C-alpha cells in the first residue's frame, strides 16, 4: 500500500521494534526525537529494567498529558500469524502486527496529533506532556507508578490525561473508558492435617473445611454498583491442593481469587468482610492480599466533554461512556486528582494472534486527539 499517512508510517516504525515487555527496543528514543523536534523537553526515567519517557512542552497550567506504553505481549505461535508479527505490514487497508492496537497505533496517533496542533498553535495555552512506559504489560511496578511518584515529588500537577488504551469496541470512538473498576487479589492458604482417606478421623481435610466458606463468598452481594459501575464481583481463579495421590487427604489448600470492585466499596472493606467470613467458618488460614488498583471515575468535566465533542465532529456519532474491562495505568494517574479517560483503537484483536487495526481508524484517532487539544488548549 502506497501513500501511507505519517501516523501509519510511525506506527509501522514502532511495531518493527519487537519491544516485548519490559524491553523498549529504542521505541522511546524514536518518540523522544520526534517530540524534541516539536518543542518538548524530554527526560528518560529508568527504574530497574524499565525505561520511561517524560516529555513536556510548556510550563504553565493546565497540563494535558498523553499516557501510554511501548511494551507489547509475546506473539504466541508464529505459524498462526497471517503476516509476521513485527513486519508491520499493511494489507487491504489493515495494519497488522503485535502492538498495532495495543498500543503503538495510539502512540503514533498521539504524535501526529501533537505535531499538527503545535504547528497550527505554537503559542497554545497551558502545557502538553507525554508519559510513556515499557512496563504496562508486565508487573507495572517500575513504570507509570514510579514516574507519577517522581512527578508528584517535584510538584508537577496533571489536569487532564488521555490514556491510549484500545477502548473502542466496533469502530474507533464508539466507547470512551471514563473509569475502571478496582482490582483486589487474594491468595488464601487453608491449613489442615494430612492423612489417609480411609482414616478421616485422623486427618483434617482443608478442602472440606473451606468449601462452605468459598460458597458463601461466591454468593455474597458486596454492593449494588451504581450508574457507572456494575456490582462488585468475586471470582476464584485457581484452587490447588493434594499430593496427586487418590488416597491422601491434603494437609494444605491454596485458593487464588480476585475482586473487581466499584466505587461503592473500598479495598479495606472487602478485606475486612472477607476475613470476618473466614473466621466465622473457623478456618486455620493465611491470607495474602494484593491491591492492583483502586477504582477511578471521571464522570464529567472538560476532558470528557472535549473527547465526546471531538468524536462527534470527527466520526459523526455520540460515544458511549464505560468503565468495563480490566485495569490500565490510568489507575496510577487518577489518584493525583487528574481527570482521566481512555480513548484508543478497537480492542477486538489485542493480545491475540493476528493483532490488527484499520488504517483509516488510526488516522481518525489522530484527528480526534488533535481536536481535543484544540478544545482544551486554545
From the candidates 24, 136, 159, 371, give the one annotated as an active-site residue.
Answer: 136
Are the beta carbons of 21 and 138 closer than 8 angstroms? Answer: yes
Q: What's the DSSP call for residue 296? A: E
C-alpha cell at 42: 524530554
From the candidates 24, 51, 71, 329, give the one annotated as an active-site residue.
Answer: 71
71 catalytic? Reply is yes
In angstroms, the Cα distances linking 6 to 2, 91, 112, 245 are 12, 17, 7, 62
- DSSP secondary structure of 136-203: TTTT-SSSHHHHHHHHHHTT----EEEE----BSSSTTSEEE-EE-EEEEEEEEEE-B-EETT-GGG-
Integer Cα distance of 9 and 180 in angstroms = 32
Closest CA to 376 of 58, 8, 103: 58
Count the Cβ atoms, other than its own, within 10 Å of residue 77.
Answer: 7
Could you report how far apart the first and last alpha carbons of the chain are, in Å?
A: 36
In angstroms, the Cα distances linking 12 to 33, 82, 175, 317, 353 are 16, 16, 25, 29, 17
**Long-range pairs for 201-206 at CB < 8 Å and ≥24 separation?**
203/249, 203/251, 204/249, 205/249, 205/250, 206/241, 206/250, 206/251, 206/252, 206/253
Residue 151: HSE in the Cβ half-sphere, 13 Å Cα cutoff = 28
Tell me which residues are annotated as active site: 71, 136
Amino acid at each position: 500500500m502506497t501513500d501511507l499517512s505519517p501516523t501509519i508510517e510511525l506506527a509501522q516504525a514502532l511495531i518493527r521494534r519487537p519491544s516485548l515487555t519490559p524491553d523498549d527496543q529504542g521505541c522511546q528514543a524514536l518518540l523522544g526525537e520526534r517530540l524534541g523536534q516539536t518543542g518538548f523537553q524530554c527526560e528518560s526515567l529508568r527504574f530497574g529494567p524499565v525505561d520511561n519517557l517524560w516529555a513536556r512542552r510548556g510550563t504553565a497550567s493546565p497540563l494535558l498529558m498523553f499516557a501510554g506504553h511501548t511494551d507489547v505481549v509475546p506473539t504466541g505461535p508464529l505459524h498462526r500469524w497471517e503476516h509476521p508479527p513485527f513486519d508491520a505490514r499493511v494489507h487491504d487497508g489493515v495494519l497488522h502486527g503485535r502492538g498495532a492496537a495495543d498500543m503503538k497505533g495510539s502512540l503514533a496517533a498521539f504524535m501526529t496529533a501533537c505535531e499538527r496542533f503545535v504547528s497550527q498553535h505554537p503559542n497554545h495555552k497551558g502545557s502538553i506532556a507525554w508519559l510513556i512506559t515499557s512496563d504496562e504489560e508486565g508487573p507495572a511496578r517500575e513504570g507509570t507508578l514510579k514516574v507519577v511518584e517522581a512527578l508528584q515529588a517535584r510538584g508537577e500537577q496533571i489536569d487532564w490525561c488521555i490514556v491510549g488504551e484500545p477502548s473502542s469496541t466496533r469502530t474507533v470512538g464508539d466507547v470512551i473508558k471514563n473509569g475502571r473498576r478496582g482490582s483486589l487479589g487474594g491468595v488464601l492458604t487453608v491449613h489442615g492435617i494430612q492423612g489417609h482417606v480411609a482414616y478421616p478421623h485422623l486427618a483434617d481435610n482443608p478442602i472440606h473445611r473451606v468449601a462452605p466458606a468459598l460458597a458463601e463468598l461466591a454468593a455474597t452481594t458486596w454492593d449494588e454498583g451504581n450508574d457507572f459501575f456494575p456490582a462488585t464481583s468475586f471470582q476464584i481463579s485457581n484452587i490447588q491442593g493434594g499430593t496427586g495421590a487418590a488416597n491422601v487427604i491434603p494437609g494444605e489448600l491454596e485458593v487464588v481469587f480476585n475482586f473487581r470492585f466499584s466505587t461503592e466499596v473500598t479495598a479495606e472493606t472487602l478485606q475486612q468482610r472477607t476475613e470476618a467470613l473466614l473466621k466465622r467458618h473457623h478456618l486455620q488460614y493465611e491470607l495474602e492480599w494484593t491491591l492492583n488498583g483502586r477504582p477511578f471515575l471521571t464522570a464529567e468535566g472538560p476532558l470528557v466533554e472535549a473527547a465526546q465533542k471531538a468524536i462527534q465532529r470527527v466520526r459523526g456519532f455520540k460515544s458511549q461512556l464505560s468503565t468495563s474491562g480490566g485495569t490500565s495505568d490510568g489507575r496510577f494517574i487518577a489518584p493525583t486528582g487528574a481527570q482521566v479517560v481512555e480513548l484508543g483503537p478497537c480492542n477486538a484483536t489485542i493480545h491475540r494472534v493476528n493483532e490488527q487495526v484499520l488504517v483509516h481508524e488510526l488516522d481518525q484517532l489522530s484527528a480526534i486527539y488533535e481536536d481535543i487539544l484544540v478544545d482544551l488548549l486554545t
